[in-house]
Structure 1
Amino acid sequence: MVRISLDVMGGDFGPEVVIPGAAKALERHPDVTFLLYGQRAKIEPLLASYPKLKEKSVFHDCEVAVTMDEKPSQALRRGRYVSSMWRSIEAVKTGNADVVVSAGNTGALMAMAKFCLRTMATIERPAIAAIWPTSTGESIVLDVGATIGADAQQLLDFALMGGAMARALFEIEKPSVGLLNVGVEEIKGQEEVKEAGRLIREAGLDTIEYYGFVEGDDLGKGTVDVVVTEGFTGNIALKTAEGTAKQIAEYLRAAMSRTLLARIGYLFAKAAFDRLREKLDPSKVNGGVFLGLNGIVIKSHGGATAEGFAAAIEVGYDMARNGLTQKIENDLKRYHARHSSSAGPEAA
Structure 2
Amino acid sequence: MPASSSDSRQQGGSLRPLVPGLLACAAAVGTALAVHLLLPALPAMTVAVVLGLLAANLPGVSGWSAGSGRAGLDFAGKHLMRSGIVVLGLKVSVVDVLGLGWPALLLIAGVVLTAFAGTYGIGRLFRLPPPVSLLIATGFSVCGASAIGAMAAVRRIRQQDTVLPIALVTLCGTLAIGVLPLLIGPLGLGPEAFGAWAGASVHDVGQVVATAQTAGASALAVAVIVKLTRVLLLAPMVAAAGIHHRIGSDAGGKFPPVVPLFVVGFIAMVALRSAGWLPPGALEAAAVLQDLLLGMALFGLGSAVRVGHLLRTGTRALLAALASWLLIAALGLAAAVVLIPGR
Compute the TM-score of the two structures, normalised by the length of structure 2.
0.28
User: Quick check: which one's helix share is greater?
Assistant: 2
Larger Rg: 1
Normalised TM-score (structure 1): 0.28
Q: Which of the pair is proportionally richer in strand?
A: 1
